[in-house]
Structure 1
């Protein structure tokens, strides 16, 4: 498993984790922001009016309302990215990573507006009478690039696992195990059955469930988050300053955090921002294709709201919870994940500037340090070797090795700093934590105390489960595009099975896989919408003509 994660990380480094991908994503958003004259600011109030159905006509084709399409798409984006993804971004890149998440969302509002509009225009009615759409349809029907459409559809199926299924249930099971001690396999089995029940009903049942689930879960989560921020009110201003002051310089080492440079914060912030709001990925257009609308731009305007709600509001609040509570650079007792472990060949003291700088450069890939190869000698759970163990990008303290419930005595083979995931022993101790466990700890830093962890556990359960529901539909439509309705049942079976298996699979591998699948969807979609830039501008102009006819007393943007 460790070797598999290394292979996946290498692949991700060339695509989703590379600088060119980040520039392509932000560059496309910036281009359309300038080309369409900042629609994320000028069109926002019209989007709010349209989502309430003010622009609808009787007889508009579609399976869902604007609001149901919005909540379905939001349920696909509001998930582990808002709880675990923000925590992971700050863990990797420091407070500055949150700034780049917000910039990604701001530009992503325009990107999502464009991709949903173009995809909605070229949607089709399938043999079973439902609407089907998404980037693969404009690639086939407008660009005449069926080969690109097939690539995108395949990537969508893969991403339905890498984005929508596997990391969601993995985060749920880890959170419920940490909070309530519920067995991960039991969590996976129960939720897999519930997932199967919902997705068999198709888009109408999915839309019905998500339109009720999304507003409720957002209210509960935000109420708990605001309680933490208010409790730590004296840290709000310093946290905001840290977000912006470290943008250019990177974050210096502080507490257990060994520091992060500009490039790392920039890359991880943009990458996690995309995972959170999916702008440019091409997933939301699949949900919006089902909306009842006669004018594609109107549905694009509804979609414009998603990155604003998902990232600019919810992710910012999560980030302030983590920063104001101070947990992001503090070490906590936890059970170590083997794939997050690195065994160094000598002792390092992080309080010494020279050792701290050496570890900082090592973790950022700027320098090599000798890693341990040989036998770890363990007596009553304690290491007798004079060396350092890194876990979660921090120096691990008070390391205890157990076999079952008892301290272990014996040896463990290590090669090039890697502890085999197949060993029966577990490592525990004090280190930094990341992803959902970090947010869980942050939520305990308020008047609610330990009860705060229940908000994260329940919020993550609802957020992540609704994301898995929505992504099943995205994969469903991709399979329909490639094989027709007959291929959907097989996809659903594999989707539910994968959902169950991921409940007890290593988190790190799943997050790495998600980065790859996101990029495989995003690249062809960005390529396609850039080719159709002139058509997009023409569609916007035509829309405002009709809007003015419908609402002559409204002042429309001058395009």
Structure 2
């Protein structure tokens, strides 16, 4: 017990660095740097990018890759649209005040440039493995683009282990808690069902994951957004004041009210940025692993699609959650996390609590599908294609364990590794910025 306590204390110190102000500044700063280098491409090309992602959805012809643009986007969204959109937004506002949502928007807007750059590099430096599938992501563009295979291996180690926490046990535990609280189903039963459902998809590889997420992710996002929009429309007269309140509190201390203890401007910035980055994962290096599998002949095409992921996750879904919390007035109740979001939805619409519970189930399940792929591609980089099946089996088993385990240490460890993934990835992004800019100029010059 003393060893576990000491290890937990050590991990907590590392976690304070991994998600501390310097790292958050570096993550957001990289987004600003890429925004400048790409001349605000995420704003000028957003309409075209959304058309590519949601209307065209795939390229014509026999392009290299395993899944369509749309399936690659949905696979990446499956991993990012998760409990962070429900619990993370609530935590940011409950601790940092309504102004935290403004800073989440900022991380999303500059994070779109980061996500774009990650995808450009992922497709440019991807390789075809022994199974005939595409493999790519930070480990490959760091290794091939910078000629630093050891640094690529560092990223792969962090990602393959982090997947068991943030993309596995934490998610199954969230589902088990929600199902037990709402439907009185034992956690073990929930864990077994999740293991079976996950195995049925991930054992089929990226094509199976792509097919399922392309159906599941749009449904889960639309259902959640419809629930939030119902509450917003019922309170539509209060929306302008709510938006003004968010912007005002981003630059002014938030006074104590109700169960809310008050927050400084720095608290709003810190929790808004931290939860924003944690939600959309821009700069962490996870999403480009899915982008590398897309059927495309040019890196920029998939990159435009990939940057819509951050827009959908942060600017749309997180905003919906934040507005519900503020319009119902429950943001200052003293509650936090998923409990706060559940109470806000329950107060705003009949059956609102079930919307949140269903959202948690679908968001968490889809996150497990996406992160299993991220983890297996990272382990493949380290040990080859023969390691993929054993990794999938172990990943599935840990889902059951997560449903019944106490996860304070697992959460801290996975949170730490998730943050540490960003270090080698940001090095790659910053040093390979000229490549991103060159590929972008070449693409649009040919149009």
Q: TM tier, shorter chain? A: over 0.9
Give distance in 1, aligned partners of 2:50 and 2:230: 28
- Cα distance change of structure 1 residues 98 and 198 upon mapping to structure 2, 3 Å threshold: same
The equivalent of 1:443 in structure 2 is: 345
- Cα distance change of structure 1 residues 507 and 236 upon mapping to structure 2, 3 Å threshold: farther
SS of residue matched to 2:64: coil
Q: Structure 1 length as normaliser, TM-score?
A: 0.76
The equivalent of 1:278 in structure 2 is: 281
Structure 1 contact 163–517 (Cα < 8 Å) conserved? no
Pairing 1:80-91 to 2, within 5 Å after superposition: 80-91=83-94
Aligned to 2:242, which of 227, 239, 242? 239
> How many aligned residue pairs are there?
443
The gaps in structure 1 that reach 5 residues or longer are: 331-431, 549-559
The equivalent of 1:290 in structure 2 is: 293
C-alpha deviation, 1:54, in angstroms: 8.0
Give distance in 2, aligned partners of 1:281 and 1:43: 23
Q: Could you report, residue by residue, the CA deviation over 1:376-426 in whole angstroms, capped at 9, with x for unpaired residues?
A: xxxxxxxxxxxxxxxxxxxxxxxxxxxxxxxxxxxxxxxxxxxxxxxxxxx
Quick check: which one's strand share is greater?
A: 1
The equivalent of 1:195 in structure 2 is: 198
Give distance in 2, aligned partners of 1:54 and 1:212: 13
Pairing 1:73-84 to 2, within 5 Å after superposition: 73-84=76-87
Root-mean-square deviation (CA, aligned residues, Å) is: 1.8
SS of residue matched to 2:348: coil
Aligned to 1:31, which of 30, 33, 37? 33
Pairing 1:451-470 to 2, within 5 Å after superposition: 451-470=351-370
1:496 equivalent to 2:386? Answer: no
Q: Structure 2 length as normaliser, TM-score?
A: 0.95
Aligned to 2:317, which of 314, 319, 324? 314
C-alpha deviation, 1:102, in angstroms: 1.0
- Cα distance change of structure 1 residues 536 and 37 upon mapping to structure 2, 3 Å threshold: same
1:114 equivalent to 2:117? Answer: yes
Q: Could you report, residue by residue, the CA deviation over 1:423-467 in whole angstroms, capped at 9, with x for unpaired residues?
A: xxxxxxxxx33222211111111241xx11111111211111011
1:264 equivalent to 2:267? Answer: yes
Whose Rg is larger? 1
The equivalent of 2:97 in structure 1 is: 94
The equivalent of 2:66 in structure 1 is: 63
Structure with more relative contact order (C-alpha pairs < 8 Å, separation 6 or more): 2
Which stretch has the larger CA shift, 238-247 or 136-145? Answer: 238-247
Q: Could you report, residue by residue, the CA deviation over 1:458-479 in whole angstroms, capped at 9, with x for unpaired residues?
A: 1211111011101000001001
Give distance in 2, aligned partners of 1:54 and 1:329: 41
Q: Could you report, residue by residue, the CA deviation over 1:151-176 in whole angstroms, capped at 9, with x for unpaired residues?
A: 00011112212321122222212211
Aligned to 1:324, which of 327, 345, 357? 327
SS of residue matched to 1:444: helix
Aligned to 2:154, which of 126, 151, 167? 151
Aligned to 2:45, which of 21, 36, 43? 43
Give distance in 1, aligned partners of 2:57 and 2:199: 35
Give distance in 2, aligned partners of 1:439 and 1:176: 16
- Cα distance change of structure 1 residues 509 and 280 upon mapping to structure 2, 3 Å threshold: same
Q: Could you report, residue by residue, the CA deviation over 1:294-326 in whole angstroms, capped at 9, with x for unpaired residues?
A: 101111111111111111001000111112112
Give distance in 1, aligned partners of 2:14 and 2:317: 30
C-alpha deviation, 1:238, in angstroms: 3.9
